[in-house]
Structure 1
Amino acid sequence: MQFHSGDSLKETLSLSASREQEAAHKRLMCQRQACEAQTPVSLRRHRSLTAHSLLPLEEKQRRVLRNLRRLEGLALVSASDGYQGLVDELAKDIRNQRRHRQRRKAELVKLQATFQALSTKATFYEEQGDYYSQYIRACLDHLAPSSKSSGKGKKQPSLHYTAAQLLEKGVLVEIEDLPTSHFRNVIFDITPGDEAGKFEVNAKFLGVDMEQFQLHYQLQYEGVAVMKLFNKAKVNVNLLIFLLNKKFLRK
Structure 2
Amino acid sequence: MMARLGLRSLRGRLLLASTVVEVVLLSLLLLNSVRLINDALRASVEAALLQTVPMLNAIIGPNLVQGDYATLQDSLNEVVGSHTQGVVYVRVLDEQGRTAAQAGLPDHKQLPAPVTDIGAALDQPVLHLQRPISFAGQTLGSLRFGLSTEIIASARSSLLQQGILIAMLEVVLTFALLSVLGFWLTKNFSRLIAGSQAIAEGRYDQPVEVRGDDEIAQLGRNFNRMAEAVQQQMQAL
TM-score by length of 1: 0.27
Compare CA radii of gyration and give the structure with the larger one. Answer: 1
**Larger relative contact order (Cα-Cα within 8 Å, sequence gap ≥ 6):** 2
